[in-house]
Amino acid sequence: MAAISSEAQAARQDGGQPELHPRRGYAPYRSSVLRHPTHALVKADPEEIERTSPAFGHTDVDSYESDLTIQHSGEPLGERIIVTGKVLDGEGRPVRNQLMEIWQANSSGRYVHKRDQHPAPLDPNFTGVGRVITGDDGSYQLTTIKPGPYPWKNHLNAWRPAHIHFSLFGTAFTQRLITQMYFPGDPLFALDPIYQSIVDPAARERLVSSYDHDVTKPEWATGYRWNIVLTGPKSTWMEQDDDHE
């Protein structure tokens, strides 16, 4: 990972564009080796169907689905947290009334999934699934439990940094995004090939939430803030076009 990182840094210093997304083939993440395309992607202009997105609204999602701590009869174990922020497009406009889906491990680092065999306890009061529709200002707020790190078999002593999976729909289907939000100061960042597959340090930093004491609620929960930017298909192209031509 260090070699790829310094090679990427050198390319950037030579005037290369920052790599906004992870590399599709990133050998330190073993599962990517046989699963990334070897041909360059074909550049396409989105047509009307791709410039629209499925319609979601408050009739699709119950308001209580944004609170992952009230889905069972008792309180889940772990550190209660509030995660809030805005979903914006490439021009900084709010992405309104769009669906956000999240899922995560519990505070012990265990998913409610039959193939997760990590010998950590399941929490009968925590499933780890939530949904929310963004507000008129693009904002969202979730109440949940801070997930724990967990081991995986990518390499010896591999542990994922604590993270929450986010799935987002924008106003165009080409804005569709699935990503992961991380927590500040995690000691596992430098060792995690999924996080490090984003070779540009500033780009991967965008996946790290910040602790926000104004979001924190007394006697109740700590607060984190994380904003998400879904760019339209053309906005990055225009910037790069200006730079190069």
- The interface with other proteins within residues 23-62 (CB under 8 A) comprises 23-24, 26, 29-39, 41-50, 52-57, 59-61
Q: Is 96 exposed, middle or buried (0-12, 13-18, 19+ CB in 10 A)?
A: middle
Q: Is 30 a catalytic residue?
A: no
**Contact between 21 and other proteins per CB under 8 A:** yes
182 included as an active-site residue:
no
Token look-up 């924008």 returns: 170
Among the residue ranges 3-11, 75-83, 104-112, 214-222, the one whose residues contact other proteins (CB under 8 A):
104-112
Given the rule CB under 8 A, which of 5-13, 70-78, 105-113, 140-148 is the region that contacts other proteins?
A: 105-113
Query: What residues between 214 and 243 interact with other proteins by CB under 8 A?
Result: 225, 227-231, 233, 236-237
Beta bridge partners of 101: 131, 167
Residues 154-213 binding other proteins (CB under 8 A) are 165, 167, 173-174, 176-180, 194-195, 197-198, 203-204, 206-207, 210
Residues 112-131 that bind other proteins (CB under 8 A): 112-113, 115-116, 127-129, 131
Nearer to other proteins (CB atom), residue 92 or residue 119: 92
Catalytic residue among 26, 29, 140, 150: 150
Reference 166, options 129, 195, 136, 202; nearest CA is 129
Identify which range of 6-14, 20-28, 72-80, 214-222 contacts other proteins by CB under 8 A.
20-28
Quick one: 47 or 219, whose CB is closer to other proteins?
A: 47
- Cα 242 from Cα 231, distance rounded (Å): 17
Catalytic residue among 118, 165, 176, 206: 165
C-alpha dist (Å) from residue 79 to 22, 147, 160, 184, 188: 30, 8, 18, 15, 19
Size of the site for other proteins (CB under 8 A): 83
**Ramachandran region, residue 50 (left: φ > 0; alpha: ψ -120 to 50; beta: rest):** alpha
Considering only CA atoms, which of 192, 198, 168, 9 is closest in space to residue 89? 168
Instruction: Tell whether residue 140 is a contact of other proteins (CB under 8 A).
Output: no
Of 80-99, binders to other proteins (CB under 8 A) are 86, 88-92, 99
Q: Could you say which of 29, 160, 204, 224 is catalytic?
A: 160
Active site residue 163: yes
Contacts of 210 (CB under 8 A, 6+ apart): 184, 224, 225, 226
The whole-angstrom separation of Cα 174 and Cα 43 is: 13
165 as an active site residue: the answer is yes
48-61 per-residue burial string, b: 16 or more CB within 10 A, e: under 16: eeebebeebeeeeb
Tell me, yes or no, if 160 is annotated catalytic: yes
User: Which residues are catalytic, by number?
Assistant: 111, 150, 160, 163, 165
